[in-house]
Chain A
Amino acid sequence: MAKISIEDVSFSYEQDKKNNFVLKDVSYSILPGDSVLLLGPNGSGKTTLLKLIMGLLKPTKGKIRIDDADTSKASVFEISKKVSMIFQNPEKQFFAETVREELSFGLKNRGLREEEIKKKVEEVAKKFGLFEYLDKSPFDLSGGEKRRLSIASIIILDPEVLIVDEPTAGLDFQYRNLMISIIRGFLETRNKSLVVATHDIDFGLRIANKAAVINEGKLVWSGDVVSLLREEEIFSKGILAHTFTSSLISRVISQSNVDFQKVVKILEELTEGLM
């Protein structure tokens, strides 16, 4: 399973000017089994970092390695064998005429047999509530449906490392919960890893075990999720903001010493109307 090393990476979109850095000296490692929450305000550089990992952008300084391959030298196709990314604006990524073709594309490229593809596509479509749209154009779907399709088309490829950019933006209650169970399902396989850039901290707390915080292009904090919740400074300085739920969790685990996983579970039961 893949290991990703980000080594002293700086990046500027203006390749000639080299001073307007959007990322500055970022170092971080993502190990097999890690589920990393990438947090930070709008514009802090999260999407840029994800694109660098995918090899869609090249570091201005420093390097990123996936196992031993330098992403500046490897082709995007090579990288995509191990790492897959679900982008933030899914409608931009669609190219097929039907939902079915969109879902089949990656599998065809891998040379799967026709019947096998059909079976997989229909199974995944059902799971994502897209079955009745299989013959529709991706562009005629509603916002939430488009997002589900973009996620389905990556999950179907079963990558080693899954990278997701703002997966819950625009999702309703049910599909946000579905997303959580899909990501948990993905992480059940040993040594798969996940990097998710999100500002939905409530969602992140339900799936991640680690967190990295970026502010103005700098990695300002990293550690495990429970320590993040005990970290007051990041929240009081306005780099991150608590939601009502995250502040409640933070207080309960740090002041009353209740186990984090237990708190998350009870909150889930509360919101799903099981109590």
Chain B
Amino acid sequence: MSTEESRKTIIRIRNLSFKYKNAEKNVLDTINFDVKEGEFVLITGPSGSGKSTLARILTGLIPNSYPGDLSGEISIMSFDPRRNKIYEIAQNVGLVLQNPENQLFALTVEDDIAFGPENLGLERKEIKERVEWSLSVVDLQKERHKAPFELSGGLQQKVAIAAVLAMKPKILILDEPTSYLDTLSAIKFAYFLNELKRELNLTIILIEQKIDLFFKFLSRIVVMNEGKILIDDEPDVVMNFCIRNKIPINIPLQLLIIRTLGETYDGKKLYDYQVDDYKMLFEKIINDR
């Protein structure tokens, strides 16, 4: 495995600002942001802070579908959404939206997944293989002939992911993908995403509120606030910063328990401890009161 330093920077953003057409102020304000090949970056922050807007820029939806004033340097695997079309970018960067219903439109699950590859003009056989592969990856073989709109929210999210995977992107951007998943599906999804990343050598940018589900897989956490990047660093460093400065994000309870007791820790290892270990620590907190 290559070291962090020798990895290629595949997204490079400098002094990026964006204002939606007819809006009064910038929703992104002089942002600098790099992503290296193979990273698993989590972006979090309050609603309205500009996370989805950033995702729209990274996938070319801005300015191609959402007009506005976009300035700064942008290189997404050498693409610039101001010069390149959405479909060019879509073969390299896949986007899974917050609300899957906005992403699904075909009459059957199968057709929805086939839609992207068909538009690329791929051969029948290749399309069929990609659909099969995507269906198996998200475990939706049983639902293949159903209409997406009949499925519950969680299953729809899986269809949306399958449809994006069928484009075989190198970078996968997911905008709060677990919002509609039940707890078990969300836990499975976190492992699934990490496996997927390793198997397909993906780079993942995940916009998420549920930090604890993904914590141990992450290379970095980025916290956004009011159109700016507040901090962008290793998970442990970011969590300590957010606890110290009372930044309103979902700090994993494990970290809070350890920290309250003033113990030293290695963030990633915290996830190897058992619930019973924390139960003992938590009882100490209760007794101390």
Partners in one complex: yes
Binding site for B on A (CB under 8 A): 13, 40-43, 47, 88-89, 91, 140, 142-145, 166, 169-175, 199-201, 238, 240-245, 247-248, 251-252, 255-256, 258, 262-263, 266-267, 270-271, 273, 275
Q: Are B176 and A170 in contact, with the CB atoms below 8 A?
A: yes
CB of B30 within 8 A of chain A? Answer: no
CB of B75 within 8 A of chain A? Answer: no
Considering only CB atoms, which chain A residue lies closest to B48 in the complex?
Answer: A142
Q: Are B184 and A41 in contact, with the CB atoms below 8 A?
A: yes
Q: In the complex, what's the smallest C-beta–C-beta distance from B95 to chain A, in angstroms?
A: 14
CB of B187 within 8 A of chain A? Answer: yes
Q: Are B278 and A248 in contact, with the CB atoms below 8 A?
A: yes
> What separation, in Å, do the CA atoms of A144 and B279 have in the docked complex?
33
Chain B residues lying within 8 Å of A144, measured Cβ to Cβ, are: 46-48
* Max count, chain B CB within 10 A of own CB: residue among A13, A42, A89, A266: A42
Q: Are A238 and B246 in contact, with the CB atoms below 8 A?
A: no
> What separation, in Å, do the CA atoms of A247 and B279 have in the docked complex?
9
Q: Are A270 and B257 in contact, with the CB atoms below 8 A?
A: yes
Q: In the complex, what's the smallest C-beta–C-beta distance from A85 to chain B, in angstroms?
A: 16
CB of B200 within 8 A of chain A? Answer: no
CB of B153 within 8 A of chain A? Answer: yes
Knowing A42-B152, A271-B253, say if A89 contacts B101 (CB, 8 Å). Answer: yes
Chain B residues lying within 8 Å of A270, measured Cβ to Cβ, are: 253, 256-257, 260, 285
Knowing A171-B209, A258-B286, say if A273 contacts B246 (CB, 8 Å). Answer: yes
Q: Are B275 and A266 in contact, with the CB atoms below 8 A?
A: no
Task: Please tell me which one of the listed residues B153, B176, B249 contacts residue A88 in the complex, with CB atoms under 8 A apart.
Answer: B153
Q: Are A244 and B252 in contact, with the CB atoms below 8 A?
A: yes
Considering only CB atoms, which chain A residue lies closest to B187 in the complex?
Answer: A241
Task: Please tell me which one of the listed residues B101, B153, B253 contacts residue A245 in the complex, with CB atoms under 8 A apart.
Answer: B253
Considering only CB atoms, which chain B residue lies closest to A266 in the complex?
Answer: B286
CB of B254 within 8 A of chain A? Answer: yes
Question: Please, could you name 15 A-B residue pairs with CB atoms under 8 Å apart, sorted by A?
Answer: A142-B48, A145-B48, A166-B153, A170-B99, A171-B47, A173-B209, A201-B183, A238-B184, A241-B187, A244-B254, A245-B253, A248-B253, A248-B278, A251-B279, A273-B246
Q: Are A241 and B47 in contact, with the CB atoms below 8 A?
A: no
Chain A residues lying within 8 Å of B282, measured Cβ to Cβ, are: 248, 252
Q: Are A42 and B154 in contact, with the CB atoms below 8 A?
A: yes
Q: Are B48 and A43 in contact, with the CB atoms below 8 A?
A: no
B window 98-129: CB within 8 A of A: 98-99, 101
Task: Please tell me which one of the listed residues A43, A242, A244 contacts residue B212 in the complex, with CB atoms under 8 A apart.
Answer: A244
Q: Are A199 and B260 in contact, with the CB atoms below 8 A?
A: no
5 further A-B pairs in the complex, CB-CB below 8 A; given A43-B154, A267-B253, A270-B257 = A47-B152, A172-B248, A247-B275, A256-B279, A271-B253
Q: Are A173 and B289 in contact, with the CB atoms below 8 A?
A: no
User: Mostly helix, strand, loop or mixed at chain B's interface?
Assistant: helix
Q: Are A143 and B253 in contact, with the CB atoms below 8 A?
A: no
Q: Are A172 and B183 in contact, with the CB atoms below 8 A?
A: no
Size range of the interface on B? 35 or more
B window 237-277: CB within 8 A of A: 243, 246, 248-254, 256-257, 260, 275-276
Considering only CB atoms, which chain A residue lies closest to B143 in the complex?
Answer: A43
Knowing A244-B252, A273-B243, say if A252 contacts B279 (CB, 8 Å). Answer: yes
Chain B residues lying within 8 Å of A175, measured Cβ to Cβ, are: 47
CB of B155 within 8 A of chain A? Answer: yes
Q: In the complex, what's the smallest C-beta–C-beta distance from B11 to chain A, in angstroms?
A: 22
Q: Are A172 and B212 in contact, with the CB atoms below 8 A?
A: no
Q: Are A172 and B253 in contact, with the CB atoms below 8 A?
A: no
B window 139-198: CB within 8 A of A: 150-155, 176, 179-187
CB of B5 within 8 A of chain A? Answer: no
Sorted nearest first, the 4 A-B pairs with minimum C-beta distance are A144-B47, A42-B154, A241-B184, A199-B182
> What separation, in Å, do the CA atoms of A220 and B86 have in the docked complex?
47
Q: In the complex, what's the smallest C-beta–C-beta distance from B231 to chain A, in angstroms?
A: 16
> What separation, in Å, do the CA atoms of A255 and B280 have in the docked complex?
11
CB of B283 within 8 A of chain A? Answer: yes
Chain A residues lying within 8 Å of B187, measured Cβ to Cβ, are: 241
Knowing A142-B48, A171-B209, say if A41 contacts B243 (CB, 8 Å). Answer: no
Task: Please tell me which one of the listed residues A174, A200, A248, A267 contacts residue B46 in the complex, with CB atoms under 8 A apart.
Answer: A174
Considering only CB atoms, which chain B residue lies closest to A165 in the complex?
Answer: B153
Q: Are A143 and B183 in contact, with the CB atoms below 8 A?
A: no
Considering only CB atoms, which chain A residue lies closest to B50 in the complex?
Answer: A142
Chain B residues lying within 8 Å of A251, measured Cβ to Cβ, are: 275-276, 279
Q: In the complex, what's the smallest C-beta–C-beta distance from B148 to chain A, in angstroms?
A: 13
Considering only CB atoms, which chain B residue lies closest to A273 in the complex?
Answer: B246
